[in-house]
Amino acid sequence: MLQIDRLAARYGRSQVLHDVRLSCGAGEVVCLLGRNGVGKSTTLKSIMGIVGAAGGDISFGGASLAGLPPHEVARRGIGYVPEERLIFPDLSVAENLSMGVWCGLGRPAPAQFDRVLAIFPRLAGKLRQRGRTLSGGEQQMLAIGRALMAEPRLLLVDEPTEGLAPVIVQALEQTLKALAISGIAVLVVESKLAVARRIADRITVMAKGETVFDGTPEALEASRDVRRQYLEV
């Protein structure tokens, strides 16, 4: 579904991505691992068109995403949950969810709300609460739920478990795996190897703006040199 080949990207004169290669298919959870600053978040932003690609190719469903602005990428069926969550603090939970379909996809239907609230029942009793009153875990659920309102075929999630309590991390892990089972492709930027081992069908490791490993969690477990050189402190 998603295919990235030799992706390069830069911020001004500073090149951040040099040679990123990865893929993510329907019903698959792919985790993007690597130390801080290697370009994981920039890879997601390049897919979404937030950061323009300086080289290589990004294709989705067989069609290139090159040069498309973020709202057009979203219309193609890609949902994005940024690391900062970026919920609207003064809008209600219901209003935040509604914003997930603002980009020319029409008004939210009751069935869309029902689907998201079935995934995150904790939000069902908080629809009138403002976003800023939610806990960190609830805000993450809201951010993911907002992206799911548009019924994407591919979900990009940046550091979903960062700073959350273990019980919330476990719930989010189950949610991401369930979304993949439902047929959605899920690409997750994650900093914790333990989380990636639990949820990923495949793991892509990045270092200095390029892909250095792509394989199953079992293959990564067997690659002691890769873990030691690119992941372990």
Domain assignments of the chain as residue spans, ordered by start: 1-77+154-163+187-233, 78-151
Q: Is 91 left (phi over 0), alpha (psi -120 to 50) or beta?
A: beta
Reduced to 3 states, what is the DSSP secondary structure of residue 37?
A: coil
DSSP category for residue 119: H
**CA dist list (Å): 105 to 18, 62, 151, 168:** 34, 22, 10, 31
Per-residue pLDDT of the chain (233 residues; tens, 9 = 90+): 899 999 999 888 889 999 999 999 999 999 999 999 999 999 999 999 999 888 999 999 999 998 899 999 999 999 999 999 999 999 999 999 998 886 555 566 678 889 999 999 999 999 999 999 999 999 999 999 999 999 999 999 999 999 899 999 999 999 999 999 999 999 999 989 999 999 999 999 999 999 999 999 999 999 999 999 999 86
Which stretch of DSSP H or E encloses residue 23?
Answer: strand 14-24
Which stretch of DSSP H or E encloses residue 88?
Answer: none
CA dihedral 120, 125, 128, 132 (to 10 degrees): -60
- Cα distance between residue 177 and residue 157, in whole Å: 13
Q: What is the pTM of this model?
A: 0.93
- Cα distance between residue 2 and residue 23, in whole Å: 5
- Cα distance between residue 68 and residue 33, in whole Å: 26
Residue carrying structure tokens 């602005």: 69
Helices and strands (H and E) in the chain: how many? 9, 10
Q: What is the fold, at CATH topology level, of the domain defined by 1-77+154-163+187-233? A: Rossmann fold (3.40.50)
Instruction: Determine phi and psi for 17, rounding to 5 degrees.
Output: -110, 135
Q: Where are the alpha helices (DSSP H) in the chain?
A: 40-48, 70-75, 93-98, 110-119, 136-148, 166-181, 193-199, 217-222, 224-230
